[in-house]
Structure 1
């Protein structure tokens, strides 16, 4: 089933309704032994990027590694210096050039291990060298808000992705998830609402306009068989 995303631009892309099991199968089909493929997952805050990325990486085990753009958040100290901390999460609060360089290293596969950063939401800071990506891993999944932005260093990202999926769950669903997420990190209901409809919404509108550059625009629907995905990785 498909429907118009209504994200703006001309013409608006069509949204595919599919489930996690089908997306795991699609990601698995990208795996070619001895070759590195990079899958990008994009969407506005609350669209489910991190959740889908984690599901895919868990299901694919040692054949995939998840690398998040959030690991390239500028530190709180640097955001304070730049007077940008109230807008943390906006397009100019990331190290875009650093992220581009990471993708280039991942594509080159000429290092035994590439270490990526991880964003710790409990600290609201990034942790360097927290995600190892061994050379033999065939699929890198990278997720984030701004992978399809066409300005500045961001413009180089799309060419470094082999394929890119844009998540479009519908605005009501996205906002409900986002408000719940803010509240789970200690914000009051009023603060969560204001943040979701304020700076987060400004970011979401920018991100929405980039969906036309994706290979697929996807609405993930419920799937009983993926409610508790089986991990192929041995833990």
Structure 2
């Protein structure tokens, strides 16, 4: 099923939120596809019945990427704590008590993950999570798809996506030539990997 209607997407998310128990909706797509924007809009429209928990909170810290020799590939699958993300999803599915669950987020100004940034109260029926690698079926990412009740894949015009991605890097401090090179050599390599797994999504969302 393909759709681009925000109202229809909100209704679909609302049906998950009212299905009983804790449900998790994933929004996947290539870098710059607009995952965080759509996720935030869905959460806002559900008016307290959903919380956004981004995958990007599981970026490895810059110092650890330097130690591992992966700083020049930041954003690739092996630059995240995928096992930690899967463990959080398991805990979110079954909080196991009256206390909230705290999740990390990613601060783009700092370019670092920040622990304990997102509070998920035990009575919130829907968690919305977004990220590049929700549909990967290999390595430590493999369990993630099975922990999500539904996954949407964002399909965006590649030229518009790449242009917006360059502008985002510039906005957060990269010189334009560096941003263009980073997108071409790093982000687009990751985008091709993400695209290979789109068939595992429940819904393809077309975005202009």
Q: TM-score range by the shorter chain?
A: over 0.9
Equivalent of residue 47 in structure 1, options 33, 37, 43? 33
Q: Does 1:164 align with 2:127?
A: no
1:173 to 146, 160, 163: 160
- Once the two structures are superposed, the pairs formed by residues 103-118 of structure 1 within 5 Å of their partners are 103-111=89-97, 112-118=99-105
Any unmatched runs of 5+ in structure 2? Answer: none
Q: 1:33 to 1:164 in 2, by over 3 A?
A: closer
- TM-score, structure 2 as length reference: 0.95
- 1:83-232 counterparts in 2 under 5 A? 83-111=69-97, 112-221=99-208
Instruction: Output the CA distance in 1 between the equivalents of 2:7 and 2:92.
Output: 26
Contact 1:106 1:114 in 2 (8 A): yes
User: Which structure 1 segments of 5+ residues have no match?
Assistant: 1-13, 222-235
Could you report, residue by residue, the CA deviation over 1:11-35 in whole angstroms, capped at 9, with x for unpaired residues?
xxx7x24122221222112112651
Deviations 1:29-52 (A, max 9, x none): 211265111000000001000101
Q: CA offset at residue 206 of structure 1?
A: 0.5
Q: Determine helix, strand or coil for the equivalent of 1:100.
A: helix
How far apart are the structure 2 equivalents of 1:170 and 1:34? 36
Matched residue, 2:68: 82
Aligned length: 207
Equivalent position SS for 1:186: coil
Q: What RMSD, in angstroms, separates the aligned Cα atoms of the two structures?
A: 1.3
Q: State the Cα distance separating 1:189 from its structure 2 match.
A: 2.4
Q: Does the CA-based 8 Å contact 1:20-1:220 persist in structure 2?
A: no
Counterpart in 2 of 1:229? none
Q: Structure 1 residues 134-143 or 17-26, which shifts more?
A: 17-26
Could you say what secondary structure the match of 1:173 adopts? helix
Please report the TM-score for the alignment, with normalisation by the length of structure 1.
Answer: 0.85
Q: 1-side partners of 2:120 and 2:3: how far apart?
A: 31
Q: Give the match's secondary structure for 2:123.
A: coil
Give yes or no for the alignment of 1:69 onto 2:49: no
